[in-house]
Amino acid sequence: MHLTSLTLLNFKNYEHFEGNFSLKINCFVGQNGIGKTNLLDAIYYLAFCKSYFNSIDSQNIKHNESFFMIQGFFEKNLDKIELQCSVKKHQKKLFKRNQVEYDKLSDHIGFIPLIMISPSDNELIYGSSELRRKFIDGIISQYDKVYLDNLVQYNHVLKQRNALLKNFFEQNYFDNETLEIWTEQLIIYGEKIIKIRKLFLEEFIELFNKNYEFISSQKEHVSLNYLNSINDDFKAELNNYLNRDRLSHNTTIGPHKDDLEFCISGYSLKKFASQGQQKSFLLALKLAQYEFIKHKKQVKPLLLLDDIYDKLDEARFNKLIDLVGNNYFGQVFITDAHPERISKLMSSKNIESKLFNIES
């Protein structure tokens, strides 16, 4: 799997961009704030039908323009594929494969396996539990369509149940029979989601530990713990929390409230780890994600590395380039603010690469 070419119109700060890419490593270099990361985000759009950084599509349109368009040509198992995403203000987003529009955007997820590593990944440590749930869901959804469908259905049912609770609160009445219809559906989809998340982590943790040891060269014990808001019986616990749900007019337990705990040597990564340990932890997470998706999909995902050099020390960065430059990894896209540095590094590694100087 690789991206052969990319064309942008009115995407973020780009009026127009065209590029043809190396099969191995592609480096976007230029001053900070020039738009290097936006090119990675455009590639991410073609894999996930959305931005990695801004979920509001219209805000990714270049200022004073009415639309944006992203077009990419891929080769996958000798097949040539054209993907096109276009967004017009106040209109539905269009996403096409080989000129045929998708009925549901979720049908595209997983078709282009892709991993992004970015400085914003720090939010996995410091941000809300929602981000850590999205991390798990994003990995599983790339290879398990049934899980993705269950997740979509669960969120729909959750929205309806919460709306009903709010309506009961505002109207000052309660109809348990009506609520029970949505509660039963919530349990059906919720139990499936929790089961798959736990099975995923059992496989994933081994890969994560291996990658952490490689990146950090340390023997520290690291762990990922799934924090389930439900102890055992989902239905019984929903009944136990019904009064709280009615008072808050919101469903207060379920897989939408679960979390992933990051620990090092038995202590909270957020509270007790050094910056170096946190960086190694996040990098190991993403490399394990790459390895996991590659195994499940039997194809090498695209790997996007945003501003990684300035976030890792030189030793860790060199280790990373050695790793992604070998044949185990496929096509890689890197952003860096120093053309000479990255060019010299690629030459010293004797890795096939192509460098793009990004200017205003």
Class of the domain covering 128-298: mainly alpha
Query: Which phi and psi angles does 5 have, rounded to 5°?
Result: -155, 155
Would you kindly state where each structural domain of the chain is located, as residue ranges? 1-113+300-360, 128-298
CA distances from 162 to 2, 45, 296, 327 (A): 43, 31, 35, 49
* 254 contact partners, CB below 8 Å, separation of at least 6: 158, 186, 190, 229, 230, 234, 238
Tell me the C-alpha distance between 194 and 199, whole Å.
9
Q: Compute the average pLDDT of residues 52-63.
A: 92
pLDDT of residue 40: 97
Give Cα 185 to chain centroid, integer Å: 27
Confidence at 311, pLDDT banded by 50, 70, 90: low
* 77 contact partners, CB below 8 Å, separation of at least 6: 1, 299
Query: Which phi and psi angles does 82 have, rounded to 5°?
Result: -110, 130
Nearest to 320 by CA among 307, 293, 264, 36: 307
Phi-psi category of residue 102: left, alpha or beta, with phi > 0 → left and psi -120 to 50 → alpha: beta
Q: Tell me the average pLDDT of the chain.
A: 92
Q: Compute the average pLDDT of residues 123-130.
A: 95
pLDDT of residue 44: 97
314-324 vs 339-349: helix axis angle to the nearest 10?
Answer: 50
Per-residue pLDDT for 45 more than 90?
yes
* 325 contact partners, CB below 8 Å, separation of at least 6: 24, 25, 332, 349, 351
Per-residue pLDDT for 22 more than 90?
yes
For residue 316 the two structure tokens come to 């860790």
Q: Compute the average pLDDT of residues 3-31.
A: 94
Percent of residues, the chain, with pLDDT higher than 90 = 75
Instruction: Please check whether residue 174 is in contact with residue 164, taking contact to mean a CB–CB distance below 8 angstroms.
Output: no
Single-letter amino acid, residue 125: I
pLDDT of residue 275: 86
Tell me the C-alpha distance between 152 and 42, whole Å.
24
pLDDT of residue 214: 85
Confidence at 13, pLDDT banded by 50, 70, 90: very high
Instruction: Please check whether residue 47 is in contact with residue 299, taking contact to mean a CB–CB distance below 8 angstroms.
Output: no
Q: Strand, coil or helix: what is 38?
A: helix
Per-residue pLDDT for 360 more than 80?
no
Per-residue pLDDT for 16 more than 80?
yes
pLDDT of residue 82: 97
Tell me the C-alpha distance between 341 and 339, whole Å.
6
Q: Compute the average pLDDT of residues 238-248.
A: 94
Query: Which phi and psi angles does 94 have, rounded to 5°?
Result: -110, 130
* 27 contact partners, CB below 8 Å, separation of at least 6: 333, 334, 335, 336, 342, 343, 346, 353, 354, 355, 356
Phi-psi category of residue 64: left, alpha or beta, with phi > 0 → left and psi -120 to 50 → alpha: left
Which is it for the CA torsion 255, 257, 263, 269, positive or negative?
positive
129-141 vs 176-216: helix axis angle to the nearest 10?
Answer: 80
Indicate the range of 62-66, 127-131, 216-220 predicted with least confidence: 216-220
Confidence at 310, pLDDT banded by 50, 70, 90: low
Per-residue pLDDT for 221 more than 70?
yes
Q: Compute the average pLDDT of residues 173-197.
A: 95
* 346 contact partners, CB below 8 Å, separation of at least 6: 25, 27, 353, 355
The burial of 210, by beta-carbon neighbours within 10 Å (0-12 exposed, 13-18 middle, 19 or more buried), is given as middle
Q: Which CATH number does 1-113+300-360 carry?
A: 3.40.50.300
Nearest to 118 by CA among 258, 256, 238, 286: 286
Number of helical H runs and strand E runs in the chain: 11, 14
